[in-house]
Amino acid sequence: MQTSLTFRHIESTESLKNHTNEKIAHLKKYLDDSAHMHVVLSTERHAQRADIQLSSHGMILHGQEDSSDLYNSIDRAVEKLEHQIRRYKDKHVDHKSKEGIRLKAQLSQ
């Protein structure tokens, strides 16, 4: 999985990079190597924003979170993405299984 990290209006620190990479590593179990993730960490007045965009096989998912703590924003944005990925995978698996059952029923008749 390819990852790009962008900082806007804040300095890039190793602790932020490490924290972001640790959290994104949890998503690797759902994705293959062709996925691309773009993370934008920014600050606007009093809000710390984490904006994550994931694209894989034509699927584009987006998680954005604002809070007073940037680490908390990263955690919550990754949780949103994980929820979206699991929901997409569940729908995809359910859809495929229904088609398989329908084909099996048609062949047996």
Q: Domain extents for the chain? A: 2-108
Overall fold of domain 2-108: Double Stranded RNA Binding Domain (3.30.160)
Q: Whose structure tokens read 């084909």?
A: 103
Single-letter amino acid code for the residue at 103 = L
What are the backbone angles phi and psi of residue 18, rounded to the nearest 5°?
-65, -45
pLDDT per residue over 4-34, tens digit each? 999 999 999 999 999 999 999 988 888 888 8
| pTM, to two decimals | 0.80
* Residue 80's pLDDT band (cuts 50, 70, 90): very high
